[in-house]
Structure 1
């Protein structure tokens, strides 16, 4: 499996809270959940620390074990929690968290896992690629976005609305009827979307944090098929360049309402075996 990737922080002077790790047979992508000013956390560790520590742990596990991906994710969450449960109050809702995509390539099959709102795309050479994203966060968030979306970005009112929005979503995080991400509870891994597909049915895959997937899902600059073509022809860095170009034309979120002008953006493109398109049978976590 050949892997190409690019990642860019929201702002040059701020840490990138995304994480990408890859070997010839495994890829991990995490998107750390930014904590806006004014939202307190009882954990002394940064979101970047969490996403990078969990991401490197998961990559090591995937190269050492052929166990089910949810099991490896649960072990990874448990391990990272053990690194700071004696120094931090991890019962507080503001503990660092991250979305997770795990992809493992073997001789005859491809295993994948998606937890949270990052996006995995499988190019099976069908007319339309298979787009996989855990949309439970969006389902929960939609009713609470009205005030935030109505305000001009960069204003104190917008900053206050964003803080309230994040605090509200915290009440739904890792709860039945809410949404699930990696944080302190290893049981969140049981809620991940997972499946296995024969390797010869997949020509290529793409892993995107929401900052990169916004090219299609928010800004409508291209279709998912065109996004795959861009990754294949011009590489992940070009995709991120187009995201930033769109965001600069709308710095205050008037055309595309959003919680912040820019987000960390990461894209991974993997080339595997190629065949004609096939139907793919998915085994996902039950909808809540």
Structure 2
């Protein structure tokens, strides 16, 4: 199954905190959790470093015989060792990331989804199957209301965003809260996992939440529309559509959100590509 990949940073003057890569038998997409301006993280390297370091290690680890969860747990521990001497790994805002991972052989594909990035499966004759871990959204629904009531980009919204991120951290990687790749390797075993036969899907897509906004935040496209855009025009075209809508609502008045724009990344594979 050939793949197409596109990624775009939220702002050209800030690092892209998403990471995506495709190997000979695996693909990974990570969406690093950025700290709002003015918020310390305890890590001298930053979120972009964390996402690409964990992502690169995970892609390599998926070449082993370990389970997907086991490969992710080992990769998290490896990253811990890389910066434990320079960074405060116990800091509440130490970098974290969502993870979507695929591994395949000649007939089957395994998947892992941790946190709110998305895997969409296009199965013949049925509606798209959307696999995402919505525990963070459930926890954050009440916590984000003060932020969503304020215009994006204002000092008041910026402070509310910092407050929201701090409150959300109290629920990260604990029972009853939500789970992300962070410093605790056991989070990997909280991921959604599964297996499918490759002949059961026409196409599949891995998307960071910055690329899913048309479908799950703005309500301007269905998942079927999303897959059709990817099939016809490719990942960059989908991201361009998202940017057009984001720029039409710069202050979040129609669609309240933490960031006017978000890093957006798509990996798309199609059986007939």
TM category (shorter chain) comes to over 0.9
Matching residue of 1:103: 102
Unaligned 5+ runs, structure 1: 275-288
1:169-206 deviations in Å (ceiling 9; x for gaps)? 01111111111000111000010000011121111110
Aligned counterparts of 2:167 and 2:145: Cα–Cα separation in 1: 13
Which consecutive aligned stretches of 4+ in structure 1 deviate over 3 angstroms post-superposition?
none
Unaligned 5+ runs, structure 2: none
Aligned counterparts of 1:203 and 1:103: Cα–Cα separation in 2: 16
* SS of equivalent residue, structure 1 residue 263: coil
Aligned counterparts of 1:67 and 1:41: Cα–Cα separation in 2: 31
Aligned counterparts of 1:238 and 1:221: Cα–Cα separation in 2: 15
2:231 equivalent to 1:239: no
Matching residue of 2:45: 45
1:200-237 deviations in Å (ceiling 9; x for gaps)? 11111100000001110011221101110100110000
* SS of equivalent residue, structure 2 residue 99: strand
1:102-141 deviations in Å (ceiling 9; x for gaps)? 0111112110000010000011113301100100000000
What is the correspondence of 1:273-284 to structure 2 with a 5 Å cutoff? Answer: none
Aligned counterparts of 1:87 and 1:259: Cα–Cα separation in 2: 30
Aligned counterparts of 2:226 and 2:16: Cα–Cα separation in 1: 23
Matching residue of 1:181: 180
Aligned counterparts of 1:89 and 1:109: Cα–Cα separation in 2: 40
Aligned counterparts of 1:272 and 1:85: Cα–Cα separation in 2: 42
Aligned counterparts of 1:255 and 1:234: Cα–Cα separation in 2: 27
| TM-score computed with the length of structure 1 as normaliser | 0.93
Deviation at 1:243, TM superposition (A): 0.3
* SS of equivalent residue, structure 1 residue 210: coil
Preserved contact between residue 2 and residue 24 of structure 1 (Cα < 8 Å): no
* SS of equivalent residue, structure 1 residue 53: helix
Q: Does 196-205 or 180-189 show the bigger shift?
A: 196-205
Matching residue of 1:16: 16
Matching residue of 1:26: 26
Deviation at 1:51, TM superposition (A): 0.2
| TM-score computed with the length of structure 2 as normaliser | 0.98
* SS of equivalent residue, structure 1 residue 227: helix
Aligned counterparts of 1:139 and 1:256: Cα–Cα separation in 2: 18
Matching residue of 1:133: 132
What is the correspondence of 1:25-174 to structure 2 with a 5 Å cutoff? Answer: 25-62=25-62, 64-174=63-173
Aligned counterparts of 2:111 and 2:54: Cα–Cα separation in 1: 17
Deviation at 1:67, TM superposition (A): 2.0
Preserved contact between residue 3 and residue 24 of structure 1 (Cα < 8 Å): no
Deviation at 1:273, TM superposition (A): 7.6
CA-based RMSD of the aligned residues comes to 1.2
